[in-house]
Structure 1
Amino acid sequence: MDVAEGVRILLLAYLVHLSTNDIISLPKRSEYTGEFYNVVNQESKIVYLKTSKGAMVGFFESVNVSSLVYEVKVGKDMNTQTVIRNSKSGPTMNSTTDPNLLLDNTRFKPFYFIWSHNTLVIGAGTVVGHGSTLQWSNDKDVTVRYISVRAGSSPLDYIFELSCKKF
């Protein structure tokens, strides 16, 4: 395979998966009724968030809101903290006020999420596993198969990381 053919294959892979890299806009106080992103056989994802406060990222065992196993609220309490919950709007299991893990309403800010061995890790940036993090380990076995995003008290724009798969 020459370089030109390799570039064409990469471009085709990008175009096939382009729809998962579009900007999605949600009204304030939206629910997990929109996109459920399949993350089977994956253990991390980057989501770009843009809002002034209250972006929720939910982790599910199935495409059913009752199968929520983790919920992360980035920018809780007027964008003063980020929390991990074990249910929708449930009790805080762990939290941080680290400014690196808060929202920025002037730009799309990347956050990475790692789920493995019943532990959820949240970090800021595009290099998964680096920088400031928040984590919580669940005492029960859970399997994350889908991720969804909802807005809190402000409208939310987000971009779900582009995923390229081998063909």
Structure 2
Amino acid sequence: MTTVIGMHEQYALVPPLEFVSAMTDHWTQTLRMPSSSPLRSLWQKMGNVFERTIIDNISECDARWKVLQPPTGSGKTQGACLYSAMQAKRNRDALGNLKPVGVLLVTRLIKQADDLAAQVNVMAGANVAVAHHSKSETDADDIGRYDVLVVTHQAFVKELAPQIRTVA
């Protein structure tokens, strides 16, 4: 799917229904968990929210944050990792014809950041994600080469929050 935002910019975004299909396959084949209509409905909502959030951010729209609060065990983390891997693949498949879309995942602990980056890389079949935190050896040049950046909440607040406040 090609999404035109603004007058001249085109982005390759992951279609929500394609995400649902991939998530269903991942859930049933890789994780060997039973799927259901309510889960697929939730995953479609996740895909819609991810896509809408990306479009709003690209458009610099002053949209409200969307918060999803599905129950434990419904695929939130798996879905975030899979969507990130799918977006990274789309960026690679665009072959410079479309603008890439980066993904930022924020988590609480350093180990979680490392694990999420590793999981996205496995799902993408390539080294597309990197973790950045106080114990990582990544710098600004390193992180700019990746489609997916996983940071701890502490790193996010320390490094990005001051920039956000000055912009607002």
Q: Provide TM-score, normalisation by structure 1.
A: 0.28
Higher relative contact order (CA 8 A, sep 6+): 1
Instruction: Identify, as 1 or 2, the structure richer in strand.
Output: 1
Question: Given the two structures, how large is their TM-score scaled by the length of structure 2?
Answer: 0.28
* Structure with the higher fraction of residues in helix conformation: 2
